Amino acid sequence: MSQAPSPLLEVRHLRVEFNTRRGTLVAIDDVSFAIAPGEVLGVVGESGAGKSITGTAIIGLLEPPGRIAAGEIRLEGERIDNLPAEAMRKIRGRRIGAIFQDPLTSLNPLYTVGRQITETIQTHLPMNAAEARARAVDLLKEVGIPAAERRIDHYPHQFSGGMRQRVVIALALCANPRLIIADEPTTALDVSIQAQIIQLLKRLGREHGTAVMLVTHDMGVIAETADRVAVMYAGRLAEIGPVQEVIHNPQHPYTAGLMGSIPAIGQEVERLPQIEGSMPRLDAIPKGCAFNPRCPKVFDRCREERPDLLPAGATRAACWLHAGKAVDADERR
């Protein structure tokens, strides 16, 4: 039997804090997961769940007062969360690529896209100007920009939103990174462009063995793209497992609520189910399971003890419903 490939990215017991005048706010609380080479891990949850901050912590771009307070992040076995800023900057372009929601924040409006891509290539790879330009044209073609030989000399404002996002993806790919952090990469795009970018991300995993962490609130994008999905709530993992299992057989009441709120084609209902209430503020996370005030299946233990991820069928869920008979037997003794 062949061994599973060792993880390309490992996040272990990550804790991110923000020190404020009102005290320390915990934005990420004991989050652990791994991504294998060629795998797409979707990270989903409501706004404020901690999805983007997890990605930002991995690529070393947390802004003060945010800081990694505990845990570790390993890329291909090497610990990267405690590296000096200059060493992390080299890793960020070379081994980790980042794609953000708004391409205008990633592109300099004063330079042509070709200059931005070739300079990035030359920073990280041993190429002269002509070789870097040829590679930049190839990358623009690979991400689906027509007439790339001509468009390479255009400025960001001369591209549509969808085309700009493709340029950002080309920029993220230019040094053949091992890991891509994609934060809402398709949110502002129309559906046909979305589908093309999803196909591109999947192809990267297939052809180059690139690992992708895809942060989004769009379950449709997750269903199309991801191999596994991690559901976040109030800075913790609520559930993690194979994407089809999580979508069709969710084991955490929060995941079930998320899936229930997605309309099905051909289904006629008066109203879609909704999760009552809203995500707690970081300074008001309830005792026990953070979801307990909104949970339809809450019981006493949920209000007192915070569950870790527990085996739940084909997935793992942070829910006391899965504590199992062994735990009940311990309690009776």
Residue with tokens 């942060």: 215
pTM, entire model: 0.91
Q: Which helix (H) or strand (E) holds 315?
A: strand 315-317
- CA atoms of 175 and 139, how far apart (whole Å): 10
Which residue shows structure tokens 């005792």?
A: 287
pLDDT at 185 (0 to 100): 87
Could you count the other beta carbons within 10 Å of the beta carbon of residue 163? Answer: 22
Q: Calculate mean pLDDT across residues 74-101.
A: 93
Are 290 and 319 a contacting pair, CB within 8 Å? no
pLDDT digits (tens, 9 = 90+) for 111-140: 999 999 999 999 999 999 999 999 999 999
3-state DSSP assignment of residue 52: helix
The pair of structure tokens assigned to 113 is 């896209």
CA proximity to 217, closest of 46, 54, 40, 100: 46
Nearest to 172 by CA among 256, 262, 107: 107
Sign of CA dihedral 227, 213, 278, 23: positive
3-state percent helix, strand, coil for the chain, nearest multiple of 5: 40, 25, 40
Q: Looking at residues 3-10, what average pLDDT do you find? A: 84
What's the pLDDT at 326? 36
Sign of the dihedral defined by the CA atoms of residues 228, 216, 33, 256, in that order: negative
pLDDT of residue 299: 96
Structure confidence at residue 329 as a pLDDT band (50, 70, 90): very low
CA-CA-CA-CA torsion for 201, 72, 90, 170, nearest 10 degrees?
Answer: 10
Counting residues of the chain whose pLDDT is more than 90, the rounded percentage is: 71
